[in-house]
Structure 1
Amino acid sequence: METEPRAQRAAQSPEDRSNPNHSADWTPKVVALDIDGTLLKWVDGQTEDYETITAPVHDAVHRALDAGAHIVLSSGRSPHGMTRIADLLHLPREGADRLWVVASNGAVVFRYPPMEVVHEETFDAAPAVAAVLEHHPDALVAVEEREVGGYRVNRVFPEGELSGEQVITRVEDIVGEPVSRVIIRDPEATADDFIELSARLGLHGTDYVIGWTAWMDLSPVGVSKASGLQHVCDAIGGLTAADVLAIGDGRNDIEMLRWAGRGVAMGQAVDEVKAAADFVTDSVHDEGAAVEMSRWFPPR
């Protein structure tokens, strides 16, 4: 397998920054991995059938474990949508400590198995949701319903976009109490529509991330994958951001890539994600996550 990604050789942007953590003698102690578009070959509109871990990714993850690194899954997914990925990666190993997982874009941190939420941030999402719906009245709204392993939604989302059961609920009840994350989706709009709207509204009292499509994640102010990973490092003890290799492809990965000692964007990421990273690896279709991990944990 190549150790210098094609995307980096071709584009050379961004170049490796002058950070001592990027030298050949640095070894990550934590590998934080996004899921969709990083570990999985996500394509808009696909169903859960695409949830397949390839051999190069699986092997690279286990070489990192062999070297003593902690693997932390870090995703915008809700917790119930992440345990299957841990199972596909065969994490944790038999006899090992439970896995650390950062879910809901950092609002939820849990251990697995069994699932135990050890940290959660919540907020009052009602004002922000109302502001968005004023401009997109037909948008879909969802929050995690952990008890049923699914979501409370105002209407059913397109097939494959949410995992688990969808329980139809009035918007007033969906955001009637503090929540950790709200999804707003408008199949008739574009990501650029949501980017323009969020900039215009300001969405005071909440943070937000726009996805590949007209998909907006609302979260508590100051909460991101970076804050969730900081909680994990503090809980493990003796680790800082400088010890972390983070790999991701979405706008919800930007804070994580900036925070980590080495932040790596996938080759298919949009320009603003690449600009936040220290390095750009190959695309998910060319096993970019495995390529980057192999740089630090090479095959024997």
Structure 2
Amino acid sequence: MAELVTEPGGSDGADERPAPGPGWRPRLVALDIDGTLLRWVDGGGAAHEEMSEAVREAVQAARDGGAHIVLSSGRSPHSMTEVADQLGLGSRDEPVWVVASNGAVVFRYPPLDVVLEETFDARAAVAAVLAEHPDAIVAVEERGVGYRLNKPFPEGELTGEMILADVEDIVAEPVSRVIIRDPAATADDFVALAARLGLQGTDYVVGWTAWLDLAAAGVSKASGLDHVAAELGVTADDALAIGDGRNDLEMLAWARRGVAMGQAVPEVHAVADATTASVDDDGAAVEIRRWFPA
């Protein structure tokens, strides 16, 4: 396992937050999944579904040490329960808390019990994006089943049943999240597009590829975690968060200690309090073991 690597945050103020004092240890550990717990498939937009033993054991050590483990991902709920199972998190007597869909859905598991769902009218934002990317793919979650989408996604990028429908029908009712994907574009194209359009009334996240997540204004992993923390009787000052993507920015800024994976995009390094090793070198385990040693 690689040694811990720490670096100060960037110029947006993360480096001005003093390090946790002596005796501090996280009472809540918020973990991104893809690129944090699970390695990316080379050349693809999907992650391997098996995590390393080092990561699994570190998460178990944090749980056994009294920390609340909260999975926090852009994934939909149905694809997060299997990760919870791999980690041995949650039981009928003590369900685990999970933040899904970039904060739009908060649930407990098992069984899958949705506690909070933030919805919005996505029609105007989707129309604005499609005006510039008319061949883009549009999808919304069909909870517990899969997705409704206007055309197939690249292989492996979504899981569950795929239900084809017209865009107008897909966004006819309020939704928790919309995914817009254009395999012919780049992530930088979508970053510029979202900034240019403004997308009034929504929040957005651009992924590693030309993948745009739209959600209700004010919704992020941080908002979902804030809800969970209140339910658990802890605060952001008790939290350690680890992630690697643009959808982790708010979460890392929210937590008392926000840590970027080694391979994270530059924006994530800028907001984080520290950087750990890459996902290929079990960086999540390296950071967790800092607080919950073997």
Classify the TM-score, shorter chain.
Answer: over 0.9
Q: Deviations over 1:1-23 (max 9, x none)?
A: 56532xx3xxx443894645523
Give, as a single letter, the amino acid of the residue that structure 2 aligns with 1:45.
G
Whether the 8 Å CA contact 1:3–1:294 is kept in 2: the answer is no
- Give RMSD over aligned pairs: 1.7
Q: How does 1:196-215 map to 2 (within 5 A)?
A: 196-215=192-211
Instruction: State how far apart, in whole Å, the 1-side matches of 2:256 and 2:19 are.
Output: 6
- 1:261 maps to 2:247: no
Larger deviation, residues 177-186 vs 18-27: 18-27
Instruction: State how far apart, in whole Å, the 1-side matches of 2:156 and 2:102 are.
Output: 19
- 1:45 maps to 2:44: yes
- 1:286 maps to 2:281: yes
Identity %: 65
Instruction: State how far apart, in whole Å, the 1-side matches of 2:19 and 2:177 are.
Output: 33
- Unaligned runs of 5+ residues in structure 1 are none
Q: How does 1:180-199 map to 2 (within 5 A)?
A: 180-199=176-195
Shift of 1:24: 4.2
Equivalent residue of 1:155, what SS?
coil
Equivalent residue of 1:257, what SS?
helix
Q: How does 1:240-255 map to 2 (within 5 A)?
A: 240-255=235-250
Instruction: State how far apart, in whole Å, the 1-side matches of 2:67 and 2:184 are.
Output: 43
Distance change (3 Å), C-alpha of 1:46 and 1:179: closer
Of the three residues 156, 163, 171, the one matched with 2:159 is 163
- Unaligned runs of 5+ residues in structure 2 are none
Give, as a single letter, the amino acid of the residue that structure 2 aligns with 1:264.
V
1:91 equivalent in structure 2: 89
Distance change (3 Å), C-alpha of 1:95 and 1:221: closer
2:53 equivalent in structure 1: 55
Whether the 8 Å CA contact 1:3–1:292 is kept in 2: the answer is no
Whether the 8 Å CA contact 1:153–1:169 is kept in 2: the answer is yes
Whether the 8 Å CA contact 1:21–1:242 is kept in 2: the answer is no
Instruction: State how far apart, in whole Å, the 1-side matches of 2:40 and 2:32 are.
Output: 12
Give, as a single letter, the amino acid of the residue that structure 1 aligns with 2:197.
L
Of the three residues 144, 160, 174, the one matched with 1:178 is 174
Shift of 1:45: 2.0
Instruction: State how far apart, in whole Å, the 1-side matches of 2:39 and 2:216 are.
Output: 29
Instruction: State how far apart, in whole Å, the 2-side matches of 1:18 and 1:46 are.
Output: 34
Instruction: State how far apart, in whole Å, the 1-side matches of 2:56 and 2:34 are.
Output: 15
Shift of 1:286: 0.6
Whether the 8 Å CA contact 2:45–2:209 is kept in 1: the answer is no
Shift of 1:91: 1.1
TM-score of the two chains, using structure 2 as the length reference? 0.95
Instruction: State how far apart, in whole Å, the 1-side matches of 2:275 and 2:87 are.
Output: 24
Of the three residues 101, 104, 129, the one matched with 1:104 is 101
Instruction: State how far apart, in whole Å, the 2-side matches of 1:2 and 1:20 are.
Output: 25
1:143 equivalent in structure 2: 140
Whether the 8 Å CA contact 2:2–2:283 is kept in 1: the answer is no
Equivalent residue of 1:267, what SS?
coil
Q: Deviations over 1:66-115 (max 9, x none)?
A: 111000000000100101101111112x5751000000000000000000
Equivalent residue of 1:71, what SS?
strand
Give, as a single letter, the amino acid of the residue that structure 2 aligns with 1:216.
L
2:230 equivalent in structure 1: 234
2:150 equivalent in structure 1: 154
Q: Deviations over 1:240-283 (max 9, x none)?
A: 10000000000000000001010000000111111010001100
Equivalent residue of 1:143, what SS?
strand
Equivalent residue of 1:57, what SS?
helix
Distance change (3 Å), C-alpha of 1:175 and 1:297: same
Instruction: State how far apart, in whole Å, the 2-side matches of 1:2 and 1:133 are.
Output: 44
Give, as a single letter, the amino acid of the residue that structure 2 aligns with 1:246.
A
Equivalent residue of 1:137, what SS?
coil
TM-score of the two chains, using structure 1 as the length reference? 0.93
Equivalent residue of 1:114, what SS?
coil
Shift of 1:235: 1.1
